[in-house]
Structure 1
Amino acid sequence: MVIINYVLMCIIFGTTFLAIKIGVDSGLPPFLSGGIRFFIAGFLLFLIMAVKEKNIMRLLGRKELFLSGVGLTFGTFATLYWAEQYVTSGIAAVLSATGPMLIIVIQSIILRHKVRRTSIVGCMIGVIGVLFLILPSFSLEVNSYWIIGCFAIILGEVFYASGTIYTKSVSKNFEGIHPVALNAVQMMYGGILLFILGLFTEEISAQTIIQPASLLSLFYLIVIGSMVGHSLFYWLVVKTDPVFPSTWLYISPFIAVVVGVLFYDEFFSWLTGVGAVTICIGMILINYETLKERVIAQRSKYIKV
């Protein structure tokens, strides 16, 4: 069951990038659609968790979860949704996989944490991979919005990395609360901020929202992407450990590239492929020691049993 759910989670996370692309291409305002997605998904998950855990109502209004929502949802997805107007879903997925690399950068440069040598090498390889991804734009035609979109996604991953570090540091304030409930509240906060940004910066048309492609995109992202995908992730965290489910970052970008090329006729070149592989190798190196420690711990656990 673990393997089946893991594969399903990777497929879901890998296809959400194309679902976003289909939505914005159909005319959905990026910020508004992102706000609708995350608020509704977070609200529904919160209602489900409220039935199981009566004490989670106190989570509403907590400053820590608001700040987590700014980093993990608002900053990360405001840039991603905007960028997917100009960047293919496959490249968006690969660039989004740089999140762990930026966590290492922030921890080492800003927080002055000691960083393993393999993580430093992984970061360098990841940067090279990003350069490989951006090179095709210069070999074909210089598209300023394409390049800005790529860097916008990386900026979003800075928000993600900062939000992840902050959330981890304040997690002790919420001991005994299920992670799904915490995630639901931060998604609601991030969704509200995205919605407000959309109201002030985008032209809203009901006719655009009710188009079949727009509705299908929203439904898939709300129900399958946010509710099912994240529930599978947290189920895997409980059943295995925090590291194993996170390895979706190494698999889903390839799924996103393949799905985009096969079903949406997205551009693909050998440089794009090299960049995707290089970035994923860098991400594996960054997390190599952690993965190694987890494998040893699991092996020792089974030996004792």
Structure 2
Amino acid sequence: MENKKPSLLLVVIAFATVYVVWGSTYFFIQRAVHEIPPFLMGFIRFVTAGLIMMGWCVARGEKVFKREYILPSALTGFLLLFIGNGAVIWAEQYIPSVVVAIMVSSSPIWFVLLDKSKWYINFNSMSTVIGLIIGFGGVILLFWDQVSEIFAAGGDQNRLPALLLLLLASISWSAGSLYSKYKSKGGSAAVNTAWQMTFGGLAFLPGSLIQGEWTSIAWSTVSIEAWSSLVYLILMGSIAAFSAYVWLLQVRTATQVSTYAYVNPVIAVLLGVFFANEHVSFIQIIGLTVILGSVLLINLAKYRKSIP
């Protein structure tokens, strides 16, 4: 069983890893997905990371093959990685990483709406209700801005389904996180993470085969930059950051863990602007500010309640 009172240093390191590393993954996904097809990339990334984690757990003598660990992890991996992260991978074929990061920054709003066990507390707080309303206003503002561009002369029509998928990704990520928190019974964070990544990665395989990605890709033409980005996503984005995230869900409240949404878009915007020459519009900055402000308002209400 996990220690329910971990050291403050471990908690700080885990939060820092999730904050910074996940913020950078949008940039590296963009670098890889234009050379490695999306379903294939998701399959390679998560299955490889899952098997590495599984081997590490076995080497440590942990009990891995127990039904009560495997079944919840299968659904969690599907919601978090195949739908949640898979939509991000697919969308970054058509949308700049900066915009993708900003669009999915609304995840903490869905944490509040989907956490049914906390509805009585959440919706009795005026700050939480106002925060939700403001947050949805920010999401609508971003959608309006992007949809206007799509229907402008020469707009890329593939961006509309990508935007809708990003909304689904935020909802699925929040649902999967809450399911992991409340339904994962027993097993270490490492074991749960290994199974989640393995099942999440395997979910990409049918789509990859249907799309013919294995036969259409010319492996010899994939650049060192794309391979390096994929390795970074496996080692840092999946093994390090995702493991830290699953562990934090076990030892901290879902609301506290969801604060990664404050930092991830900022890191993604900085990398996208300075290293990928991506553009951030005034409307996108306003939308991000509104969403993060609403998330801050929601969390401040919860933190006040937790102070004796």
TM-score range, shorter chain: 0.7 to 0.9
Indicate how the Cα distance of structure 1 residues 59 and 97 shifts in structure 2: closer, same or farther if over 3 A, else same: farther
Show structure 2 runs of 5+ residues with no match: 1-8
User: Using a 3 Å threshold, how does the CA distance of structure 1 residues 12 and 268 change in structure 2: closer, same or farther?
Assistant: same
Residues 150/49 of structure 1: CA separation in 2 closer, same or farther (3 Å cut): same
Alignment gaps of 5+ in structure 1? 298-305
* CA offsets 1:105-138 (integer angstroms, 9 cap, x no match): 3346xx8943323332222212221233234432
**Cα separation, 2, equivalents of 1:50 and 1:238:** 21
Pairing partner for 1:164 from 158, 174, 177: 177
Deviations for 1:133-168, whole angstroms, at most 9, x for unmatched residues?
234432683443223212211111222222223223
Local SS of the residue matching 1:260: helix
- Counterpart of 1:134 in structure 2 is 143
1:145 aligns with 2:153: no
Aligned mates of 1:259, 1:144 — CA distance in 2? 26
Q: Quick one: distance in 1 between partners of 2:258 and 2:247?
A: 12
Q: Which residue of 2 aligns with 1:279?
A: 291
Equivalence for 1:43:
51
Counterpart-to-counterpart distance in 2, 1:149 and 1:292:
37
* Residue matched to 2:5: none
Equivalent of 1:22, from 8, 20, 31?
Answer: 31
Q: In the TM superposition, what is the alpha-carbon distance from 1:245 to its structure 2 partner? A: 4.6
Aligned to 2:301: 289
User: In 2, Cα distance between the equivalents of 1:243 and 1:112?
Assistant: 11
In the aligned structure 1, how far is the partner of 2:303 from the partner of 2:221?
Answer: 43
Greater share of residues in helix: 1
Partner in structure 2 of residue 66 of structure 1 = 74
SS in structure 1 at match of 2:278: coil
Do the aligned residues in 2 keep the contact of 1:35 with 1:192 (CA within 8 Å)?
A: yes
Q: Which residue of 2 aligns with 1:261?
A: 273
Aligned residue pairs, count: 290
Q: Report the Cα offset of residue 243 of structure 1.
A: 5.2
Note if contact 2:91-2:162 (Cα within 8 Å) is conserved in structure 1: yes
Q: Which amino acid aligns with 2:96?
A: T
Query: CA distance change for structure 1 residues 237 and 78 in 2, over 3 Å: closer, same or farther?
Result: closer
Identify the residue that residue 168 of structure 2 maps to in structure 1.
Answer: 155
Decide whether aligned partners of structure 1 residues 290 and 45 sit closer, same or farther in structure 2, where only a CA change above 3 A counts.
Answer: farther
For residues 206-245 of structure 1, what are the structure 2 equivalents within 5 Å?
Answer: 206-207=218-219, 210-233=222-245, 244-245=256-257
Aligned match for 1:181, one of 169, 178, 191: 191
Residue pair 2:79, 2:172 contacting (<8 A) in 1 also: yes
For residue 197 of structure 1, what is the aligned residue in structure 2?
A: 207
Task: Check 1:186–1:7 CA distance in 2 against 1; reply closer, same or farther (3 A cut).
Answer: closer
Aligned pair in 2 of structure 1 residues 20, 202: CA closer, same or farther (>3 Å)? Answer: farther
Is the contact between residue 193 and residue 243 of structure 2 (CA under 8 Å) also seen in structure 1?
Answer: no
CA contact (8 A) 1:133 1:272 kept: yes
Cα RMSD, aligned residues only: 2.8
Q: Deviations over 1:249-285 (max 9, x none)?
A: 1111111111101100112111111111111112222
Does the Cα contact within 8 Å between 1:87 and 1:146 map onto a contact in 2? yes
Q: Are the counterparts in 1 of residues 181 and 249 from structure 2 also a CA contact under 8 Å? A: no
Contact 2:32-2:230 at 8 Å conserved across structures: yes
Change (3 A) 1:164 1:8: closer
Q: 1:240 to 1:80 in 2, by over 3 A?
A: closer
**Matching residue's letter, 1:275:** G
- Distance in 2 (CA, whole Å) between partners of 1:33 and 1:39 is 10
Percent identical across equivalent pairs?
A: 26
Q: Deviations over 1:190-229 (max 9, x none)?
A: 1001122211124331426742122012101001111122
The TM-score, its normalising length taken from structure 1, stands at 0.84
Scaled by the length of structure 2, the TM-score of the pair is: 0.83
- Kindly tell me: are residues 262 and 289 of structure 1, through their superposed partners in 2, closer, same or farther at Cα, counting changes over 3 Å? same
